[in-house]
């Protein structure tokens, strides 16, 4: 018996009367709220309006959920369409099974639709929400803990995950808590993106690409530790190959984009900075005066007018005397 370990919950659902409250769903919902909240703060700091991130998330979140489920069902089709399986289970999202690759891909499509309707550049929006997405993943991974799923190899480390359920082919025992590893990694990715964005003023989608690249690095070694059934290609799990390909694409985008479009977008949301900024009228007047002083013809005209006025005043004083 292990002296120290991470216990698994006895069940992943509580009932409020006839209403089921599922831990997996709660983790996803809390993650979405955190992503929208942080994304909104970053969007405002970049010059956007409050509420824009939430408005676009109305498109991105449903698309992301559908995309995540589709990726899972397609890559693990035998769980739903093999002999003896019930294909209706493919719609039971609450039982677990959301592929992050499909969620990000289709979620990005939903975000693009929402951003396009508001005339907002998609790369700028992606940069604003990137750390929030990483935090959302960190929270969402605890849904796997509630479902006692996606653990790693058997181990005797003090932080081993104690699996108690024998359903679905599980073997009770002590395993690497890969859900915890990925959760902590995602927190690190979010902090990395926030730091790099401030340090290097990332823009034009580079903060989002950094999030993607950093996540793929962690997903690669975490995926290698998992023992759940998966398709293999040349000895590697399918998700390892996906992480490798996506990592290369993200790094390539960062390099190419940095050369073609350095810096950050000056305007992220049309209409926010329209019209003269506060205090610009005084600056305009000062600029006009400076132009007058710099203009020789204008200066000579002023001096001539002053000389004539002084001469008239002298003649008037002489006549009075």
Residue (of 265, 277, 10, 273) closest to 123 by Cα position: 265
Which range (214-228, 245-259, 303-317) has the least confidence?
A: 303-317
Q: How confident is the model at residue 276 (pLDDT cuts 50, 70, 90)?
A: very low
Looking at residue 312, what is its pLDDT? 57
Q: What is the pTM of this model?
A: 0.80
Mean pLDDT value of segment 120-136: 96
Q: For the CA atoms of 176, 179, 183, 184, what is the dihedral angle to 10 degrees? A: 0
* pLDDT for 62 beyond 90: yes
> How far, in Å, CA of 27 to CA of 138, rounded?
9
Residue predicted with more confidence, 311 or 141: 141
* Vertex 12 angle, CA 8 and 16, to 5°: 140
Residue predicted with more confidence, 310 or 25: 25
pLDDT above 90 covers a percentage of the chain that reads 52
* pLDDT for 13 beyond 50: yes
For residue range 88-127, list pLDDT tens digits in order.
888 877 777 788 889 999 999 999 999 999 999 999 999 9
> How far, in Å, CA of 211 to CA of 187, rounded?
11
pLDDT above 70 covers a percentage of the chain that reads 83
Residue predicted with more confidence, 270 or 199: 199
* pLDDT for 305 beyond 80: no
Three-state secondary structure string covering the chain: CCCCCEECCCCCEEEECCEEEEHHHHHHHHHHHHHHHHHHHHHHHCCCCCCHHHHHHHHHHHHHHHHHHHHHHHHCCHHHHCCCCCHHHHHCHHHCCCCHHHHHHHHHHHHHHHHHHHCCCHHHHHHHHHHHHHHHHHHHCHHHHHCCCCCECECCCCCCEEECCCHHHCCCEEECCHHHHHHHHHHHHHHHHHHHHHHHCCCCCHHHHHHHHHHHHHHHHHHHHECCCCCEECCEEHHHHHHHHHHHHHHHHHHHHHHHCCCCCCCCCCCCCCCCCCCHHHHHHHHHHHHHHHCHHHHHHHHHHHHHHHHHHHHHHHHHC
Looking at residue 283, what is its pLDDT? 36
> How far, in Å, CA of 235 to CA of 239, rounded?
12
Q: What is the mean pLDDT of the chain?
A: 83
Looking at residue 3, what is its pLDDT? 62
Looking at residue 313, what is its pLDDT? 56
Looking at residue 18, what is its pLDDT? 77
Which range (210-224, 231-245, 292-306) has the least confidence?
A: 292-306
Phi-psi sector, 122: left (phi>0), alpha (psi -120 to 50), beta: alpha
Mean pLDDT value of segment 244-260: 96
> How far, in Å, CA of 5 to CA of 176, rounded?
10
Contact present, 18 and 28 (Cβ < 8 Å): no
């Amino acid at each position: 018996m292990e002296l120290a370990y991470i216990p698994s919950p006895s069940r992943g659902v509580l009932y409020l009367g006839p209403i089921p409250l599922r831990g997996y769903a709660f983790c996803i919902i809390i993650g979405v709220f955190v992503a929208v909240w942080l994304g909104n703060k970053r969007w405002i700091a970049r010059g956007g309006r409050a509420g824009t991130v939430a408005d676009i998330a109305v498109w991105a979140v449903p698309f992301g959920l559908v995309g995540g489920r589709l990726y899972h069902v397609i890559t693990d089709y035998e769980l739903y369409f093999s002999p003896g399986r019930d294909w209706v289970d493919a719609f039971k999202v609450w039982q677990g099974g959301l592929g992050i690759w499909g969620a990000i891909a289709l979620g990005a499509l939903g975000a693009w639709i929402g951003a396009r309707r508001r005339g907002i550049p998609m790369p700028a929006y992606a940069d604003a929400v990137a750390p929030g997405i990483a935090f959302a993943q960190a929270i969402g991974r605890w849904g796997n803990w509630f479902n006692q799923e996606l653990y790693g190899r058997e181990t005797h480390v003090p932080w081993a995950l104690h699996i108690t359920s024998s359903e679905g082919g599980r073997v009770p025992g002590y395993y690497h808590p890969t859900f915890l590893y990925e959760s902590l990694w995602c927190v690190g990715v979010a902090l990395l993106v926030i730091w790099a964005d401030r340090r290097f003023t990332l823009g034009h989608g580079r903060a989002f690409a950094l999030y993607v690249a950093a996540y793929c690095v962690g997903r690669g070694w975490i995926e290698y530790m998992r023992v759940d059934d998966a398709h293999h290609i040349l000895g590697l799990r399918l998700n390892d190959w996906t992480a490798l390909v996506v990592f290369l694409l993200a790094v390539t985008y960062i390099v190419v984009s940095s050369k073609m479009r350095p810096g950050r977008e000056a305007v992220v949301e049309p209409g926010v900075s329209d019209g003269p900024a506060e205090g610009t009228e005084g600056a305009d007047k000062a600029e006009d005066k400076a132009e007058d002083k710099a203009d020789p013809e204008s200066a000579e005209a002023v001096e001539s007018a002053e000389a004539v006025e002084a001469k008239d005043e002298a003649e008037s004083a002489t006549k009075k005397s």
